[in-house]
Amino acid sequence: MAEKKRIELMVCTGTGCYAGGAYQIIDGLNKELESFGLRDEVTVVATGCNGFCGQGPLMVVIPDNIFYGWIEIKDIHHLVEEHFLKGRPVKRLMFKPPEEKEPLPLLSDIPFFKKQLLVVLRNKGIIDPEKITDYIARDGYLAIERVLSSLSPKDVTDEILKSGLRGRGGAGFLTGKKWEVASQQVKTPKYLIANCDEGDPGAYMDRSVLESDPHSVIEGMCIAGYAIGSTNGFIYVRTEYPLAIKRMRIAIEQAEEYGLLGKNILGTGFDFEIEIREGSGAFVCGEETSLIHSIEGNIPKPRQRPPFPAQEGLWCCPTVINNVETLANVPVIITRGAEWFSSIGTETSKGTKIFSLVGKINNTGLIEVPMGLTLKEVVYEIGGGIPKGKKLKAVQTGGPSGGCIPASMLDSPIDYESLQKAGSMMGSGGMIVMDEDTCVVDVSKFFIQFTNDESCGKCVSCRDGSEAVLEVLTRISDGQGREGDIEFLTELGESIKDASMCGLGQTLPNPVLSTLRYFKEEYDAHIKEKRCPALVCRNLIQYYIDPNKCVGCLLCIKSCPTEAIKGESKYIHIIEQEKCHKCGQCLEVCPPKISAIIKITGNELNNLVQLTEIISCKEWKKDHEYS
């Protein structure tokens, strides 16, 4: 009797889970399934990123849709025996929301997945990205089939235009419009480039698209090529994305083998080839003109636009450059129609957007949501709120080009215009959640440090301007802020925006300007009172031992690298401020039950008891018992 396949284990092998040992888990599963004689009934499928990266390594059991997270090798024997042999799902490995007693067995019950709408990531976790037939089974290459058999290039461009699809790489330009410009150029050949440089710190949307569904990008590229009259496509991926490159390479080979890429695609006479180009990884390489220089083998520095690449791009030929996520939208728009697509989202922003949700949030991972969802829904429903009962302070979107949106504006819908109006931008989809322990001066400093490092140096405004901004921010966080700094930052920021040639310079002041707009009082506190309200800026904080709490256990002394702590067993310890380097070690080791060490800022120390000599805990208690 041939055993019928009854269960599929969709094991995530995205970069996060891969690093967490997903392939060891797969080996372990196969071994155990083998030894229980279940190999025919239960099969393991390696998928791309499931999205709930914070729970990885993870798997989803099909057809029940049971979600198992944080799987360890030692769990596998039990799991296989209990669930797959005896048929009893294992509660211990299911997702349990913090503060809840019972786990949520089904993926569809987990709030993280509930408000998501999968358009681009329609195949994530459902297909094996290294198997073209999995993609084909999910209506893959149906769009190119339609396009080549019944649509003219103009029909295709019009359909994309009508859908309202806008670029997902940052600026939000109408994709159909861009294609139209390129298709109207007389000069040939024409080129198509998929941009997967993804240099924003913390962002990994595009990488995930390539890792989980590379064929959707290939198909989108083919369609774009057909629409603009190009037979040559490049996909530009940063070298730091080896898994994405590997899967893309496999996908290209398979598509060629099946006649879905290369010469005479599907016997229709249309030719289209795709080459992978690996990028050096500098942030500015993602800028379109600079990326084009890089493919040409020149130094990747931006150039003045116009002419725009659609007019004059790669090797001076008309070139459409689109973001990977933009292109992955294209096949679904063709198969399901522009009308369907434009029914999702808001007036001006159609479809969905993928975000990498990171920072001070309970559920971290990759999410795809319809445009127009509010930040509140993302943070509290999908993200599950802020850990440890802390308060939300701001949400940062748009990476180094974006800004901080304060908690008070959480009802803002997520779309291109609203984010811009709030002083941030959509960007490519990084979303960093910040809690009350985040200092806005420190955050601004981090982003300006990044853009200052990444500036190509061509424009004075960007190169020297970012340097000057960084200097002032550093001074402010060091407690050397001066009257007039805020005005100076504002003016300088505006002039950097105006005078810089490419998007990097034009947007680099955003993190500073947006925090000045919403958190001016925090800058004031740093400058005027030498106080860091979030207790982050090292030079503005002190560590202090509360004599009413210290039990004299010596732990902090042992941890202090600079011998800044005085004390003896059962004596109240004292931190000598002049010697303290503010490493925070002592605070870490002081037992949580006691929590005698606190951080303070500004002149708070003056209002606290400052011991000069150590005194035994007993004596201190006696003296203070009745006071």
Partner 1 sequence: MPKLTIDELKKMRENSRKEIYLREGNFRGKVTVHMGTCGIAAGAREIMNSFLDEIERRKLTDIMFTTTGCAGLCSEEPMITVEMEGSAPVKYCKLTNEKVKKIFNEHIIEGNVVKEFALGIGSERVG
Ligand X SMILES: Cc1cc2nc3c(=O)[nH]c(=O)nc-3n(C[C@H](O)[C@H](O)[C@H](O)COP(=O)(O)O)c2cc1C
Task: Name the residues that contact partner 1, by CB under 8 A.
Answer: 1-8, 10, 41, 62-65, 86-89, 105-106, 126-127, 133-134, 136-142, 145, 148-149, 257-260, 264, 266-268
> What x-and-dash track marks residues 446-485 binding ligand SF4 by CB under 6 A?
---------xxxxx--xx----------------------
**Bond prior to 533 in cis (omega within 30° of 0):** no
330 vs 536 by CB, closer to partner 1: 330
Identify the three-state secondary structure at position 220.
Answer: helix
Tokens found for residue 244: 């994405």
Give the residue ranges of DSSP H helices in 168-308: 175-184, 205-212, 214-228, 242-257, 288-296
CA 67 to CA 533: how far, in whole Å?
41
Q: Quick one: what does residue 559 bind among ligand X, ligand SF4, ligand FES, none, with the CB cut-off 5 to 8 Å set by partner type?
A: ligand SF4
Under the binding rule (CB under 6 A), the answer on residue 542 touching ligand SF4 is no
Q: Quick one: what does residue 286 bind among ligand X, partner 1, ligand FES, none, with the CB cut-off 5 to 8 Å set by partner type?
A: ligand X
Interface pick for ligand FES out of 10, 16, 44, 444 (rule CB under 6 A): 16
Cβ at position 577, least distance to ligand SF4 in Å: 9
- Using CB under 6 A, which residues numbered 265 to 284 contact ligand X? 283-284
Cβ at position 291, least distance to ligand SF4 in Å: 13
275 vs 498 by CB, closer to ligand SF4: 498
Q: Quick one: what does residue 89 bind among ligand X, ligand SF4, partner 1, none, with the CB cut-off 5 to 8 Å set by partner type?
A: partner 1
Q: Any bridge partners for residue 374, and if so which?
A: 413
Cβ at position 199, least distance to ligand X in Å: 5
Q: Which of 532, 440, 538, 455 is nearest to 489 (CA)?
A: 440
Q: Which of 414, 499, 506 is nearest to 460 (CA)?
A: 499
Interface pick for ligand SF4 out of 10, 441, 443, 565 (rule CB under 6 A): 565
CA 596 to CA 84: how far, in whole Å?
51
Q: Quick one: what does residue 17 bind among ligand SF4, ligand FES, ligand X, none, with the CB cut-off 5 to 8 Å set by partner type?
A: ligand FES
SS (H, E, C) 90-153: CHHHCECCCCCCCCECEHHHCHHHHCCCCCCCCCCCCCCCCCHHHHHHCCCCHHHHHHHHHCCH
CA 133 to CA 72: how far, in whole Å?
30
Tokens found for residue 426: 């959509």
Q: Which among 93-101, 125-133, 354-362, 495-503 is the span making contact with ligand SF4, rule CB under 6 A? A: 495-503
- From residue 312, alpha-carbon distances to 276, 289, 385 in Å are 21, 10, 47
Identify the three-state secondary structure at position 330.
Answer: helix
Q: Quick one: what does residue 119 bind among ligand X, ligand FES, ligand SF4, none, with the CB cut-off 5 to 8 Å set by partner type?
A: none
| Cβ contact 459:499 at 8 Å | yes
Cβ at position 531, least distance to ligand SF4 in Å: 18
Residue whose token pair is 């089904």: 106
CA 13 to CA 481: how far, in whole Å?
48
Under the binding rule (CB under 6 A), the answer on residue 361 touching ligand X is no
Q: Quick one: what does residue 12 bind among ligand X, ligand SF4, ligand FES, none, with the CB cut-off 5 to 8 Å set by partner type?
A: ligand FES
Q: Quick one: what does residue 171 bind among partner 1, ligand SF4, ligand X, none, with the CB cut-off 5 to 8 Å set by partner type?
A: ligand X
Tokens found for residue 455: 């500036």
Residue 218 CB burial class (10 angstroms; 0-12, 13-18, ≥19): buried
Under the binding rule (CB under 6 A), the answer on residue 213 touching ligand X is no
Interface pick for ligand X out of 163, 322, 349, 363 (rule CB under 6 A): 322
Cα 590 vs. chain centroid, distance in angstroms? 34
Which residues bind to ligand FES, rule: CB under 6 A? 12, 14-17, 49-53, 56, 58, 366
Which residues of the shown chain bind ligand SF4 in the complex (CB under 6 A)? 284, 302, 455-459, 462-463, 500-502, 504-505, 543, 545, 550-556, 559-560, 562, 564-565, 567, 573, 575, 580-586, 589-590, 594, 596-597
Residues in touch with ligand X (CB under 6 A): 167-171, 173, 195, 197-199, 283-284, 286-288, 321-323, 326, 428, 502-504
